[in-house]
């Protein structure tokens, strides 16, 4: 019912839009730079671009179920940005760029549900810090995107509020989780900037499954305040884009200190003047890249494995020196017992800080309201009793800068990188193809994103690696040292530009 209302409302605001002149805009694979060039050349305005995207939503969203609610103020914001440009002739860094925001980011005046009935009709008073940064830079919130309820699932994107999102490359398959709505929309050219969150996989997994670039940045580089948490000790929010350049432009805006997120204090002095300087097509020349076979050879799909082997050849042909394999001492032991069940503590803090409802204060309140998703129901029931680190409850669950097991894991990896003089380590983001929607649990295999970066705090970027049968994308992941975003930008940009694997879904042109 709510979805029908949302898109009826969309038809109304489209009908009420009074443009000076109708224009035809090719939305296929637009970038921030190409949009700004069009604005400067007078080819179209922000208002006209937003109108074109709203029309595309009306045409495309029903098959994907990627979006949940349209921003009723999107056209008004676009008009105001057009007036600003007319008056001063200056474009903000993200001036007039339409943005899709995952439904766990607080958005002022727009419902924020995290896919759950317990937050249905919750309308935040302010934007999340990251959203606010992007809006101040000129981005326009076009719509919110569907997600796995409470961000519980890395496998699929199903919510009680809006149902299941489909992969735009093959509608029978999942876009992974939990940021599947953002991934499906951006991949299908419904918007330019995509925002997701990643507790263990949920920026990189959906980006890999939908032929996108996904940046999980260093824990502490960007803010998480105003975002519905899963495990705040692991959570990162960030860009899911069609190009490395666009993801870099977004990172440039969102990196930095937020007084409401104490972890961001660690970024002080570690952020360059700008990140776009590292967009270098020859960025792989002389780079040393290590291959982590412990992940890539863990029961891989043969087609994904073939793409990965070709990626190694491509990296070498683009100037990199390959170190293969890279063995990390005690890797199997160090990766164990890294997870801590912190959902109760984190979600109850969020409810107290932002929701402020007497009837919605505890995890028991969430359980009482219930869910239409069996997967989410099982998750809530688990967290009613689960807490801390299992099976080592005596080890305190802390952030990546103070937790002894996390520090040990990171130091082992970075020490090995130092010994081998590596700039990055690579492995497939997933060893297997996207699962069928109807069999996502039995086909959930090969999720490599969960294993290192969320625990060590290191940055990990995924970029398109090609396609397997069924027109199903795969991603290549680059892991770097703490705050080595400049290096990862150079490497991923050079690989992207040298291979050009990104192709839009059939019929999205």
Q: Which of 425, 403, 400, 402 is nearest to 415 (CA)?
A: 425
User: CB–CB of 94/138 below 8 Å?
Assistant: yes
What is the C-alpha separation between 385 and 397, in angstroms, rounded?
16
Stretch (H or E) spanning 469: none
CA-CA-CA-CA torsion sign (355, 360, 363, 366): negative
Half-sphere exposure of 170 (CA within 13 A, CB side): 18
Known catalytic residues? Answer: 102, 178, 202
What is the C-alpha separation between 335 and 78, in angstroms, rounded?
47
User: CB–CB of 134/102 below 8 Å?
Assistant: no
Residues 6+ apart with CB under 8 A from 182: 66, 100, 101, 102, 145, 147, 194, 195, 196, 206, 240
* Placement of tokens 């290096």 in the chain: 487
Distances (CA, A) of 61 to 7, 243, 442: 10, 22, 27
What is the C-alpha separation between 109 and 73, in angstroms, rounded?
9
What is the C-alpha separation between 308 and 474, in angstroms, rounded?
9
User: CB–CB of 357/348 below 8 Å?
Assistant: no
């Amino acid at each position: 019912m709510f979805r029908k209302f949302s898109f009826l409302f969309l038809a109304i605001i489209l009908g009420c839009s009074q443009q000076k002149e109708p224009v035809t805009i090719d939305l296929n694979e637009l970038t921030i730079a190409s949009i700004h060039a069009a604005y400067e050349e007078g080819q179209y305005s922000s208002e006209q671009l937003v109108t074109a995207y709203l029309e595309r939503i009306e045409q495309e969203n029903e098959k994907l179920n990627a979006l949940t609610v349209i921003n009723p103020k999107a056209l008004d914001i676009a008009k105001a940005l057009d007036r600003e440009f007319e008056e001063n002739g200056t474009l903000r860094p993200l001036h007039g760029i339409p943005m899709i925001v995952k439904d766990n980011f607080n958005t002022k005046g727009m419902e924020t549900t995290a896919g759950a009935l317990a937050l249905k009709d919750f309308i935040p008073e302010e934007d999340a810090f990251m959203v606010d940064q992007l809006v101040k830079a000129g981005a326009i919130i076009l719509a919110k995107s569907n997600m796995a309820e409470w961000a519980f699932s890395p496998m699929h994107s199903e919510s009680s509020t809006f149902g299941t999102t489909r992969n735009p490359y093959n509608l029978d398959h999942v876009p992974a989780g939990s940021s599947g709505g953002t991934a499906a929309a951006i991949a299908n050219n419904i918007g330019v900037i995509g925002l997701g969150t990643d507790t263990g996989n949920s920026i990189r997994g959906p980006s890999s499954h939908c032929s996108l670039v996904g940046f999980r940045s260093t824990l502490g580089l960007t803010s998480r305040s105003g975002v519905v948490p899963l495990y705040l000790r692991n959570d990162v929010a960030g860009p899911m884009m069609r190009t490395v350049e666009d993801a870099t432009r977004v990172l440039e805006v969102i990196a930095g200190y937020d007084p409401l997120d104490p972890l961001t204090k660690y970024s002080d002095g570690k952020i360059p003047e700008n990140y776009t300087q590292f967009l270098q097509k020859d960025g792989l020349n002389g780079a040393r890249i290590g291959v982590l076979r412990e992940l890539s050879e863990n029961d891989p799909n043969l087609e994904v494995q073939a793409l990965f082997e070709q990626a190694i050849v491509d990296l070498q042909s683009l100037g990199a020196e390959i170190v293969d394999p890279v063995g990390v001492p005690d890797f199997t032991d160090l990766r164990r017992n890294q997870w801590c069940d912190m959902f109760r503590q984190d979600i109850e803090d969020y409810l107290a800080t932002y929701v402020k409802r007497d009837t919605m204060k505890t995890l028991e309140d969430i359980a009482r309201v219930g869910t239409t998703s069996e997967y989410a129901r099982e998750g809530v029931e688990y967290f009613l009793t689960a807490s801390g680190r299992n099976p080592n409850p005596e080890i305190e669950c802390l952030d990546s800068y103070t937790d002894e097991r996390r520090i040990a894991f990171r130091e082992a990896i970075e020490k090995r990188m130092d010994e081998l003089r590596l700039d990055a380590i690579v492995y497939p983001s997933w060893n297997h193809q996207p699962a069928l929607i109807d069999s996502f649990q039995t086909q959930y295999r090969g999720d490599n994103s969960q294993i290192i970066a969320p625990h060590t705090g290191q940055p990990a970027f995924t970029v398109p690696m090609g396609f397997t049968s069924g027109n199903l994308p795969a991603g290549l992941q680059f892991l770097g040292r703490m705050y080595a975003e400049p290096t990862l930008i150079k490497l991923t940009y050079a690989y992207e530009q040298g291979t050009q694997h990104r192709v839009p879904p059939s019929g999205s042109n």
